[in-house]
Structure 1
Amino acid sequence: MTRLLILSVSAGNGHVRAAQALAATAEALNPPCSAVHIDAMAHVAGGFRKVYTDWYIQLVNRAPEVWSYLHQKADSTPHSATSQRLRRGIERVSAGALLREIHRAKPRAIVCTHFLPAELLMREGNRGRLDCPVWLQVTDYDLHNMWIVPGMAGYLAATEEVAFRMRARGLPADRIHVTGIPVMPVFSQPDASELARDACVSRLGLDPARKVILMASGGAGVGDLPSMVERVLALGGPGSDFQVIAVAGRNATAHEALKAIAQRLPGRLVALGFTNEMEKLMAAADLVVTKPGGLTISECLALGKPMLLVSPIPGQEEHNAGFLMEEGAAWLAYDSIGLEYKVARLMAAPEQLARMAQKSRSLGKPDAARRVLDCVLGA
């Protein structure tokens, strides 16, 4: 029997990373907890998967204003509305294989890092076909109506405000726990020698005496990553002798363009593709330029990194950005001109960066995954 089953949805990468963090933390417990992570999209009908994941990604990239409307509309639509019942019906028809996989695992407890499997399991529980507790981990710093799934054993919130919103929307107060958003175990050791800032900078071939900016995002209004990096490296004035780490991920075209820039500007830029060592790149950075996805900013907060946010997805990422700016841990660049202006300003103001870093560290919950497991396994 599986002790813990963790269910994610690969619509974006954050839900999956939160699930991976929980699984890795469970296995590292003493004694280890048997944990299995399943991506729900690997066990649903192909057409449903394409619509749910590919359509979502294309929509937020190509028509963010449409996504913004849909996001707001869904937030104000009651769960009892015909459109919501139809959506849940389509999900059930498409997810028969997923439900069979869940029952085959015979878990003692389940944690969902996305609302879709939680909704499916709510129905299973209501019909007496599920005999284990189901918990729901919210992976943003705000609360959308889709996360209000009745009947869960517990609800895991990033902040006190998210918990307040859960109570205001009718979820039982005694089932709500403020844990933070789970990050990988390595982020729970920010003072470890392998995450020492100067050592991480030196390993990349950069100068620890100079400021380092980590850039990992491009997007609407700001531009693609190579053009962002080129504009930022062209800045002059006080503090402009900084270095850049640029991460293109699996975008091979962007990676090649970044490598060409690095050749033209030796000692200023490290151009990387996909990496499994983002924690070391974050540890090396004095400023992180990123989209405000829930998991990415949770990792930055765990390491106490100030952020310059770009290209937030309307809805959830805009709300994440608002939270960080209210708390003083981040600034937001609305467009390419704002990006250049705010990078220049922050690089010329080390005291401002230090204040933002202090705020960031105070907000971080590097042990969030352990907190979640304490709730789930101790229940």
Structure 2
Amino acid sequence: MSKKQKKILLLSVSAGAGHLRAAQAIEAYATQDDGEGSAAIASHLDVMDFVTPAFRKLYTDFYIKLVNKAPALWGYLYHASHDAPRDSSMQRLRRGIERLNTRALMAQIAAFQPDAIICTHFLPAELLSRALRQEQLTCPVWVQVTDFDLHRMWVHERMHGYFAATDEVAFRMRHEGIPAERIHVTGIPIMPAFAQVPERVQCAQAFGLDPQRTTLLLMGGGAGLGSLETVAARLLALPGDFQLIVLAGKNAAALAALQALAGQYPGRLLAQGFTGEVERLMACADLVITKPGGLTTSECLALGLPMIVNAPIPGQEERNADYLLEQGVALKAFDAVTLEYRVRLLLDHPQQLQAMRAKALALGRPRAAADVLAQVLRAGAALE
């Protein structure tokens, strides 16, 4: 190991994909070889791999079921937990349960002996804040907030620094008592592939698409819009000469239904399952219809993609949607009828779509992960 290399530990939680993807993005930059070796030795751990099965089921499965089946309840809990006093009995009980279920994680951290830790979820940040207070940990701990909002559960004592998506999130951090010198506005980390806009013509031709035709990209349905195939069928019935890409992810049933639908619309629908080439599919698109997760929307901004955000769940997605709408880079669809209207509006007014694209490009921070890593390494060098 060269002297300039530092051991960076990235901690995330698989409650939703965004926290994991943010950590993976920083890890990807850490392992890039600039001709003199990689910038750091990075290791990424999912905290849920070091807890009991019961705790994992409660923390991840319950969260996913709650946001899908009872979003209003999740919204209530999001706001109630933000406003709850830190010393309330419920907060103390929650922290006690978390500590009991994460002892294996602390042993893994000790074995790795990191020079710095970056948390892309509030749970490890909270656990390590206590470890720092009790002098069980001595290395700097950083926190990367992964939404265009700040929930108080992200704010903890003894953190070396915080990374914010926007100036407004940084302002909220200062309001919560975090010293200004510990706050860095970097954006939300996304993979290196988004740092350079892929060439549209080459990408379109590789996927069998016409690069000259207006292209819509659908990434997720549900929450009042219907299944992916239902939304796709509704979109394809709209007037206009456009083509549609639909990402089904790991949903095999949805992919099969979409592929059957594609047979009814030759040359107009590309149904895609799980793929590692999302950025190349995005490069083919003029408009994205998506849930407003922090990572996905950051990827869209990096590539200058206007969005229609559909039915955000109350809480962080709602705040993300508010930010995007305020910045003029997205419209919002809360049901299928509204989605149809918004799509028609933008197809009929391409100048509005182009204006949204320009604003998205201006907001994008494609090298956020690289900037986070660079700040952590600079701070480490200053401490030596």
User: What TM-score comes out, normalization by structure 2 length?
Assistant: 0.95
Alignment equivalent of 2:135, drawn from 111, 114, 128: 128
Q: The residue matched to 1:18 in structure 2 has which SS?
A: helix
Structure 1 match to 2:382: none
Range 75-84 or range 294-303, more displaced: 75-84
Alignment equivalent of 1:230, drawn from 220, 223, 233: 233
Alignment equivalent of 1:100, drawn from 97, 107, 115: 107
Tell me if 1:16 matches 2:20: yes
Give the letter for the 2:353 counterpart. Answer: L
Give the letter for the 2:81 counterpart. Answer: A
Tell me if 1:5 matches 2:12: no
Give the letter for the 1:11 counterpart. Answer: A
* Alignment of structure 1 residues 281-292 onto 2, 5 Å: 281-292=281-292
Give the letter for the 2:306 counterpart. Answer: P
Q: The residue matched to 1:351 in structure 2 has which SS?
A: helix
Rounded Cα–Cα distance in structure 1 between residues aligned with 2:33 and 2:20: 20
Rounded Cα–Cα distance in structure 2 between residues aligned with 1:142 and 1:178: 13
Structure 2 match to 1:163: 170
Of all paired residues, the percent bearing the same amino acid is 55
Give the drift of 1:208: 1.4
Structure 1 match to 2:213: 210
Q: The residue matched to 2:308 in structure 1 has which SS?
A: strand
Rounded Cα–Cα distance in structure 2 between residues aligned with 1:169 and 1:215: 37
Structure 2 match to 1:154: 161
User: What TM-score comes out, normalization by structure 1 length?
Assistant: 0.97
Structure 2 match to 1:115: 122
Give the letter for the 2:252 counterpart. Answer: A
Rounded Cα–Cα distance in structure 2 between residues aligned with 1:40 and 1:60: 21
Give the letter for the 2:234 counterpart. Answer: R
Q: The residue matched to 2:331 in structure 1 has which SS?
A: strand
Rounded Cα–Cα distance in structure 1 between residues aligned with 2:341 and 2:104: 51
Alignment equivalent of 2:55, drawn from 48, 52, 59: 48
Give the drift of 1:198: 2.0
Rounded Cα–Cα distance in structure 1 between residues aligned with 2:317 and 2:33: 32
Structure 2 match to 1:278: 278
Q: Deviations over 1:331-377 (max 9, x none)?
A: 00010000111111111111011000001000000010111011111
Tell me if 1:198 matches 2:201: yes
Structure 2 match to 1:331: 331
Alignment equivalent of 1:60, drawn from 53, 56, 67: 67
Structure 2 match to 1:257: 257
Give the drift of 1:17: 0.2
Rounded Cα–Cα distance in structure 1 between residues aligned with 2:112 and 2:57: 25
Give the letter for the 1:72 counterpart. Answer: H
Give the drift of 1:19: 0.3
Give the letter for the 1:257 counterpart. Answer: A
Q: Deviations over 1:121-148 (max 9, x none)?
A: 1111101111100000000001111111
Rounded Cα–Cα distance in structure 1 between residues aligned with 2:351 and 2:152: 39
Q: The residue matched to 1:107 in structure 2 has which SS?
A: coil
Give the letter for the 1:34 counterpart. Answer: I
Q: The residue matched to 1:365 in structure 2 has which SS?
A: coil
Rounded Cα–Cα distance in structure 1 between residues aligned with 2:318 and 2:131: 34
Give the drift of 1:311: 2.2
Q: The residue matched to 1:165 in structure 2 has which SS?
A: helix
Q: The residue matched to 1:139 in structure 2 has which SS?
A: coil
Rounded Cα–Cα distance in structure 2 between residues aligned with 1:72 and 1:130: 31
Q: The residue matched to 1:200 in structure 2 has which SS?
A: helix
Rounded Cα–Cα distance in structure 2 between residues aligned with 1:29 and 1:290: 34
Give the letter for the 2:121 counterpart. Answer: H
Tell me if 1:28 matches 2:32: yes
Distance 1:318 1:116, change over 3 A: same
Rounded Cα–Cα distance in structure 2 between residues aligned with 1:311 and 1:49: 27
Q: Deviations over 1:188-234 (max 9, x none)?
A: 112xxxx1112211211111121000101111111111100000000
Give the letter for the 2:296 counterpart. Answer: T
After TM superposition, the runs of 4+ consecutive aligned structure 1 residues lying more than 4 A away are: none
- How many residue pairs get matched? 372
Rounded Cα–Cα distance in structure 2 between residues aligned with 1:313 and 1:376: 33
Q: The residue matched to 1:3 in structure 2 has which SS?
A: strand
Rounded Cα–Cα distance in structure 1 between residues aligned with 2:211 and 2:368: 30
The unaligned stretches of length 5 or more in structure 2 are: 380-384
Give the drift of 1:29: 5.0
Q: The residue matched to 2:60 in structure 1 has which SS?
A: helix
Give the letter for the 2:117 counterpart. Answer: I
Alignment equivalent of 1:174, drawn from 181, 198, 201: 181
Rounded Cα–Cα distance in structure 1 between residues aligned with 2:123 and 2:324: 27
Rounded Cα–Cα distance in structure 1 between residues aligned with 2:201 and 2:320: 29
Give the letter for the 2:375 counterpart. Answer: C
What is the RMSD computed on CA atoms of the aligned residues? 1.0
Give the letter for the 1:232 counterpart. Answer: L
Give the letter for the 1:198 counterpart. Answer: V
Rounded Cα–Cα distance in structure 2 between residues aligned with 1:211 and 1:197: 12
